[in-house]
Structure formats: C-alpha cells, structure tokens
Amino acid sequence: MNYILTEYTKGKRLDLRWENASPARRKSLLLQLKGYFEELQNIPHLWPGVICSADGGPLFDRRLEFDTRGFGPFANESDFNNFLRCGITDTHPLRSVSFRFIGSTVHNEVEEMIAIQDKIQHSIHFTHGDAHGGNFLVKGKNITAVIDFEMAGFYPEHWEYTTAMTTGHGFVNSAIQRRKPELKNILKEYPEELKGETIRQKRIDEEIRAMLPRADI
C-alpha cells in the first residue's frame, strides 16, 4: 500500500523572520538548522555508494532536468559527474555546439571543472537539495518544519552546500547565507567543489545540455 502522510505545522518562513531576529535567537536557529542537516546526513543509505532517490530510484532536480521521469540512479560518483557534464572529458565536443565555447577562457574553465570533479571521491549522504530560507518554518524560538523534499536524495557530501550556494533563490541569496561566518555553523564548506559546480552551471546550462548527447544511466 502506498500512502502520503501529511501534517499541518504552524510557522513562518525563516527568510521572512531573520532580519528582525535578535543575535541570540539567530544563534539558536542556526544551531537547530545544523542539527537538522546532521540528522539528514546520517540517514542510513541502503545502497552504499549509489546516488539515488530515497527509495533507490531516479532523482529529480529541476535545475538539471525538467523531465518529471527524473534521472539516474547512478552506480557511483563518477557516473553522476559524467551525467552532470554530459559525458564531456575534454573541451573538444563543445566547439561544435555553440559559439560561446570559442576561446581559451572557456576551455580552461571547463578543463578545470573536469579536473575538480575527477579529483575527489566523496561520501554519499542524504541531502535535502533545496536549502533556502523559504523551506524552513519558524515559530517563536524554534524551527518547526523543514519542507519541500522533492529534490532530496542520496548525493555526494558536497551537494547540499554547492546547491545552496548556487541556486538562484537559495541560501546564498538569503539574509542568512550572505553572512559567511554563520554559514559555517550550518553546513560544511566545500570551496573547490563549489568552484567546479559554478563553472558547470555557467557553461553546461540547459541549452547546451539539450544539444550535447548524453546517456541515462
């Protein structure tokens, strides 16, 4: 039997309450957020190393694919990175796709992105995947709910941080994320991975992904 359990929870969006919160209240909210993220990261993974949804199936992330069928799962991080960059292992395939890839600057950036992705293999943890101030509800001194898990799944450990930092409406653009010392109290930082993901989003955008061949894994 399949079912969805829903619960009504009172609260206001965190990003609407942050500016007027006292320093003591902010500190308390940050500590609560840190605890919630640690809980999520410690959810047992039944398929160690696999990048997948909570039930082991395809993932969904509108920033990558608008197809509601999702993408993946992936046997390992290398396969996932290959999907993210549409199988690109060097800059050669890009030259015939778009005039935007003419010039050494673009090629150097893409080569750096590939090097970063191939450099480190990360642990795989459960990830909310859409961490911004609108997805945390506050009432009084407490975080009452973490909502919107449609893009959650088991991802490389840096994914929570890099998606939060690069999403247009994400934590990075909220009142919280602009304060880097406070961010360090919530999520572990991955500066090199963030650089690689920033390049990927800049160069391998939706238009380019539609042109480049890729194989679902």
The CA-based angle 149-150-155, given to 5 degrees, is: 80
The residues that bridge with 59 in the sheet, in sequence order, are 71
Averaged pLDDT for residues 46-53: 96
CB-based contacts of 41, cutoff 8 Å, min separation 6: 125, 126, 127, 157, 160
CB-CB neighbours of 36 under 10 Å: 17
Question: Among 8-12, 49-53, 142-146, 181-185, which stretch is predicted with the lowest mean pLDDT?
Answer: 181-185
Specify the pLDDT at position 60.
Answer: 93
CB-CB neighbours of 130 under 10 Å: 23
Specify the pLDDT at position 168.
Answer: 57
Rounded to 10 degrees, the C-alpha dihedral 74/80/83/87 comes to -110
Distance in angstroms (rounded) separating the CA atoms of residues 159 and 8:
29
Residue boundaries of the structural domains of the chain? 16-211
Averaged pLDDT for residues 33-38: 95
Averaged pLDDT for residues 52-70: 87
Cis amide leading into 23 (omega within 30): no
Specify the pLDDT at position 95.
Answer: 64
**Predicted confidence (pLDDT) per residue in 181-200, tens digit:** 566 778 999 999 999 999 99
Specify the pLDDT at position 173.
Answer: 47
Specify the pLDDT at position 171.
Answer: 45
Distance in angstroms (rounded) separating the CA atoms of residues 128 and 153:
7
Distance in angstroms (rounded) separating the CA atoms of residues 29 and 14:
9
Rounded percentage of the chain residues whose pLDDT exceeds 70: 82
pLDDT band at residue 164, thresholds of 50, 70 and 90?
A: confident
Q: Is the pLDDT of residue 172 over 60?
A: no
Specify the pLDDT at position 166.
Answer: 83
The residues that bridge with 124 in the sheet, in sequence order, are 156
**Predicted confidence (pLDDT) per residue in 128-163, tens digit:** 999 888 899 999 899 999 999 999 999 999 999 999
Q: Is the pLDDT of residue 177 over 50?
A: no
Specify the pLDDT at position 94.
Answer: 67
Q: Residue 214: what are its φ and ψ, rounded to 5°? A: -150, 155
Q: Is the pLDDT of residue 120 over 90?
A: no
Strand, coil or helix: 137:
strand
Which secondary-structure segment (H or E) carries 113?
helix 104-119
**Predicted confidence (pLDDT) per residue in 62-110, tens digit:** 888 766 678 999 999 999 999 998 888 877 666 666 566 667 788 889 8
Query: Distance from first CA to last CA of the chain, Å, rounded?
Result: 28
Q: Which CATH number fits domain 16-211: 3.90.1200, 1.10.150, 3.40.190, 3.30.530?
A: 3.90.1200
Structure tokens at 147: 């909502």
Distance in angstroms (rounded) separating the CA atoms of residues 41 and 36:
9
